[in-house]
Amino acid sequence: MRHLLSTQDLCFQDALHILDTAEEMAGVKDRQVKKLPALRGRTVVNLFLEDSTRTRISFEAAAKRLSADVLNFSARGSSVSKGESLRDTVQTLEATGADAIVMRHWASGAAHQLAESGWCSSPVVNAGDGTHEHPTQALLDAFSMRHRFAFRDGSDPATAPPVGQDLTGRHVVIVGDILHSRVARSNVWLLNTLGARVTLAGPATLMPLGAESWPCEVTYDLDEALATEPDAVMMLRIQQERMHQSFFPSTAEYTRGWGLTSERLSRLEDTEAIIMHPGPMNRGLEISSTAADSPRNTVLEQVANGVSIRMAVLYLILAAENPGKDG
C-alpha cells in the first residue's frame, strides 16, 4: 500500500489485513511502555486544513506510539493565510524531512491530487477530503463493529481478538446527512467489501444523486429501516457548515423524522443493535442524549479504536511495505 486515499482502493484482503494489523497494535496501549520502535527516525506530518479533534489527535497518538516524530500543521496561523498554495506548503513540509503526509482538506479530491500530482514523494493518507472520503474512519468503524459483534457472539475481544473475521451477514443502517458525509461514502464501499448489507436512510434532500447505483439500499423512512432490526445504526452528524441552502424545514422537523430520539431508541430495546456516530455529535439534533450515552453507543470505543487503526495504516505504509529510501 503506497497511499491510503479511498476505501474503494481496498480489496477484501487489504481491508482485512489492516483490521488484523490493528488488532496487534491495540495491545500496545496495555503495555507499561505504550510504544513500539517500528517508525523510529521517521517523520509524520499532520497537515490539517480543516478543523478536527478526533482524527488529528488520533493520528498524532498513533505516530508517537510507533516512535515516529510528528509535525502538526494547521491552516490557522500558517502561511496558508497569506495565500501559499497546497503544492508549496507540502513541498516546504517535505523539505523539513516529512516521510508521510496525513492530510485533511476541505476540498473533495485534494488527497488524490496530492498523491498523483508528483508535488511530493511521500505517501499520502487521506484524513478526510471535503464530502468525498474518510477511509480511516470507515476502517475504525469496521474494527469497532467486529469487536462488538464478537462480544455479542460470546467471545471477549480483549483475550480473543476477532482476527480474520469479516462482516458477512451483518446489516448496517447509515442515517441522516448522506449528501455531505465522507464517512457514509467510505463506509458504503468498505462495508460492502467486507460482506455487510448497507442501507442508507435519510431525507431525499440529503441523499446524493446516484446513491441508488451504490452497493447499498436506499430508504427515505427511518422507522422502516429500524424495523428491519439492523446490527448497527450509524448516525451521521448534520454538517451545517457545508449547508448553503435549506435542506429541511427546521431542526425540530429533522429530529422528528431522522433523529435517534429516546422513543426510537426504546424501540431498539428488544434488538441487539449497536449505535455508532463518527463524532462530533449534535446532541438533541441527530441523536438524543439518551442515545448518545446509552451502553449501545460505541462513540468512545470508535475513538479509542481509531488509534489502533491509524497505527496499522502508518505502519503498513511506512515500515512494512515502503521500507524507505535506505530500507
Interacting residue ranges for ligand CP, rule: CB under 6 A: 52-55, 128, 137, 278-280
- Grid coordinates representing 269 are 430495546
As beta bridge partners, residue 104 has 48
Shortest reach from residue 119's CB to ligand CP, in Å: 24
Residue (128 or 161) nearer to ligand CP, CB: 128
Do residues 20 and 44 make contact, with C-beta atoms less than 8 angstroms apart? no
Shortest reach from residue 233's CB to ligand CP, in Å: 17
Do residues 50 and 31 make contact, with C-beta atoms less than 8 angstroms apart? no
Shortest reach from residue 50's CB to ligand CP, in Å: 8
Residue (55 or 89) nearer to ligand CP, CB: 55
- Binding positions for carbamoyl phosphate: 54-55, 104, 134, 137, 279-280
- Grid coordinates representing 264 are 426510537
- Binding positions: 54-55, 82, 104, 134, 137, 182, 237, 279-280
Report the first-to-last Cα separation within the chain, whole angstroms: 16
Residue (136 or 288) nearer to ligand CP, CB: 136
Place of cell 448516525: 235
Residue (106 or 220) nearer to ligand CP, CB: 106
Pair type for strands 197-201 and 217-219: parallel
Shortest reach from residue 309's CB to ligand CP, in Å: 12
Distances (CA, A) of 100 to 13, 82, 124: 23, 25, 6
- Binding positions for L-aspartate: 82, 182, 237
Shortest reach from residue 306's CB to ligand CP, in Å: 8
Do residues 143 and 303 make contact, with C-beta atoms less than 8 angstroms apart? no
CA 163 from chain centre, in angstroms, equals 20
Residue (279 or 284) nearer to ligand CP, CB: 279
